[in-house]
Structure formats: C-alpha cells, structure tokens
Structure 1
Amino acid sequence: MKVLLFGATGMVGQSALRECLVDPQVTAVTSVGRNATGQKHAKLTEIKQANLLDLSTIENQLTGFDACFFCLGISSAGMSEERYTAITYDLTLSVAKTLARLNPQMTFIYVTGRGTDSTEKGRSMWARVKGKTENDLLKLPFRAAYMFRPGGIIPRHGVRSKTKLYQAIYIIMRPFYPLLERAFKSAMTSSDKVGRAMIAVSRHGYATPFIESDDINRIASQHT
C-alpha cells in the first residue's frame, strides 16, 4: 500500500507516519507539507510545498496512491470563524478535490475530533466547521472516505505535540495515563492506535464513515 500523508509534523501525523514506516504492508509513504519531518527512511519521500492551496506544481508526484491520511489541523482557540474555516475547510477541500481527480481509487482519511457536528448548526464553531468539512469530503468521488474522530490521544513512541502548552500538559499528565484509559474508555485512545487504525481502515474498510475513539481502539486491537 502506498500512502500520501499531510500534516506529518503534527502529533497525529507523527503517529501515522511512524506506523506506516513500521508496517510491512505499507510499501511507500510520501509526506507533503510546509516543513520537513527530519526523518530518514527507505520508504519515506518528502515533498516540501509552501502553498498547500495550490498543488499544481507537484501534481505529477501525487498519483498512484492507495490512501491519503490528512492530519493537518489547528486549534480554534482565539480564531475567528472566517479564519478557522479558511484553514480547516477551504484548505482541506482544496487538497481533497485535487486528490480525488488524480486518484479516484484512493481511500481518504480525515482526522477531525470527538464532538464534530454533522448538522453544521450547533453552537460550537469548531464543531460546525469540522462537520461541514466532513460532509463535503464524503461527497467527493473517492473509492471511500472515513472521518476519524478521536477524543483524548495519549502520545506514545516519542510522539510530541508542536504546541508547547499541550506538550507541557502531556508531560504533567503522563503518570495518569493508565487511569484515564480505564476511566474514559470510549473517549480515549493512543497515538499508535490511531496510526494502526488508519492503515487497517484503508486496507479493509469499515462499516461506518465516522470512526470514534472506541472504534479506533477496536480496529487497532484487531491489527496489531
């Protein structure tokens, strides 16, 4: 399986990349982003692209993929709805439309979050925008598309958040991870499970396009 990865330097993207590199069923990974991952591996190819809204200059490098893991995302804290929409919705749909044209047999996996609002009418701004993004991705002519909605993600295998505050919180909470996993089974997962579940769903599909934390845990446990 050949995987195209967006957002490889973020926490979820790091997790997806790691699991792709250690999985023998994944034969090649191409990372597209503004910054390099800093990793070297025989299976990894990196494309640095400053403007992700315009992929025309690299389209010849974006064909022949079986799956895309779209892990780009930002926090909505302190952002206007217009700005958040431009990054979360406009950028995602722009990339996805290009990939659907170039790789109609591709499986597209988009990482959103627990609480995403599929009605697009709720009070939470980020949830509405994510919901619209999910809904419009599902209308594109991919072979299949899945919306991953993890809640809390416990970082494993050296995965780190790029946001200093979040990383500090992860460090403080590390002794409590086992307790959190037991107490909030339906809401918690781990970074390695997210990556493994992405690969498994790309290869085998899933009964629903909306994949929550408990689905992620179940899928990952079946594909260790």
Structure 2
Amino acid sequence: MKILLIGATGLVGSHVLEQALADPRISQIITPVRHELPVHPKLFAPIVNFDQLPDEANIWDVDAVICTLGSTMKVAGSKAAFRQVDYTYPLECAKLAKKWGCPTYALTSALGANANSPFFYSRIKGKLEQSLIALNFESLTLVRPNVISGHRNQERLGEVVVIRIISSLSRILPASCQISPAQNIASALLNSVIHPEKGGKIISSKHLA
C-alpha cells in the first residue's frame, strides 16, 4: 500500500518513517517536507510550502494518511503559530487527501484532547479531532499519547523533568498515566492504517505504555 506521512522529521514521525520503510506491506511512503530527506527507493519526499500546499495526485492519491505534526507553545512562539501547525496544517492535508479519494487517516493527538477544554493546547487538539471527524473518512484513528519519550534533536527541559518524575512513579501510576514511547505510538499509527477499522477509533495512552 501507499501511505502519506505528514511530520516525518519529528520524533514520532521519524519512527513511523523508519518502520514503514522496513515494512514489506508498504510499497511507497510520500512525505511532504520543508527540507530534503535521505534518498530511499520507497520514499518520495517533495519539498512543499505548507501554507500553499500543491493539489497534485502524486502527493495526495494514497491509501492512507498518517499525521504526526505537532509543536509546543515555546517552539511555535505564539498561539496563532501553534494553531497553524497543530490544527490548520493537519486539517488541510486531510482535506486534500479526502478530495483525492483517500479512505483512511490516523492522527497523533494528545491525552486530554477536548474542544471545550479551558487549556489552549488540549482545546486545539480537540478541535482538530472534531474537524477530522466531520470529513467522514471511512476509517479515522485518533491516537492520544501521554508525555512522549524518545530521542529528540533538541531536548525540551520541561518534558525531560516530567518524564523523569513519571518514570520514578511508574510502579504506582495507572497505565493511562505512563510515558508513551515514540516507537509505540508509531506502531499504533502504522497498524491502524494497514488494518483500518470502519468508522472512528481512539487509541488511548494506556495502550501505548
């Protein structure tokens, strides 16, 4: 099958890409990016401007989309910039894929995603989920991890501290509060598009620990 991966250079996205390239069930991975990726015979990585996405079959005519785009308020720099990366870009990619007939979409969302949340981060995640549901994909999977662990090119001090605290309390914390390893999230996303279920499905953090 042919999949479209949005966010291939991020922590979770890089694990999805690694697993997909090694999976014989995947014939091609399309990864629209801002910067070049290493060449691989199964990989097509067009350089795009996410503010002006091209509407072309060679990008959007796929069997499934996996979206792992995500930022933080600190990295984004403002609420408007955060919303653009975590809501606008994933939704516009979904709309284009749906237009070209893609039946399956899987998203890295977040624990606590809720369109009515008083917290901006959780509210944006929840609004994206709502907007994706409204597009009526044949199969939509929402993966909601807790704090994500894995090697980052730039460490986020706050996350490092939280991960250490959770790790020290792992024996007494319920499964839903455990750390979510990036490779586990990637596996859940990939499996959800290789074996899509009709309708909507939520994979909670307790299944990612």
Q: How does the TM-score come out when normalised to structure 1?
A: 0.78
- What is the match of residue 42 of structure 1? 41
Match for 2:108 among 95, 108, 111?
A: 111
Aligned to 1:220: none
Q: After superposition, where does 1:43-122 map in structure 2 within 5 Å?
A: 43-49=42-48, 51-56=49-54, 59-77=56-74, 79-105=77-103, 107-117=104-114, 120-122=115-117
Provide the aligned length of Structure 1 versus Structure 2: 204
Query: Which amino acid counterpart does residue 152 of structure 1 have in structure 2?
Result: V
Counterpart Cα distance in 2 of 1:25 and 1:189:
25
C-alpha separation between the residues in 2 aligned to 1:193 and 1:126? 22
Report the counterpart of residue 150 of structure 1 in structure 2: 145
Percent identity of paired positions between Structure 1 and Structure 2: 25
Structure 1 residues 76 and 195, CA gap change in structure 2 (3 angstroms): same
> Structure 2 vs 1, CA of residues 196 and 103 (structure 1 numbering), >3 Å: closer, same or farther?
same
- The code of the aligned residue for 2:125 comes to K
Matched, 1:209 2:201: yes
TM-score (norm 2): 0.83
Q: 1:6 to 1:179 in 2, by over 3 A?
A: same
Contact 1:112 1:148 in 2 (8 A): yes
Matched AA of 1:81: K
Q: CA deviation at 1:165?
A: 3.1
SS of the aligned residue for 2:118 comes to coil
Q: Contact 1:10–1:162 (CA<8 Å) still a contact in 2?
A: no
Q: Deviations over 1:52-107 (max 9, x none)?
A: 13222x513124311111111110248443332233222222221111101332x1
Q: Pick closer, same or farther for the CA change 1:168–1:79 going to 2, 3 Å.
A: closer
1:200 is aligned to 191
In the TM superposition, 1:157-176 aligns within 5 A as 160-166=151-157, 169=160, 173=164
Distance 1:68 1:181 in 2: 33
Change (3 A) 1:210 1:27: same
Partners of 1:8 and 1:143 in 2: CA distance: 24
Query: Unaligned stretches of 5+ in structure 1?
Result: 218-224
Hey, what's the Cα distance between the residues in 1 that align with 2:44 and 2:107?
Answer: 21
| Change in CA separation of 1:43 and 1:104 when aligned onto 2, cut-off 3 Å | closer
Shift of 1:178: 7.0
Structure 2 gaps, min length 5: none
State the superposition RMSD in angstroms: 2.8
CA distance in 1: counterparts of 2:102 and 2:30, whole angstroms:
18
Which moves more between the two structures, 60-69 or 161-170? 161-170
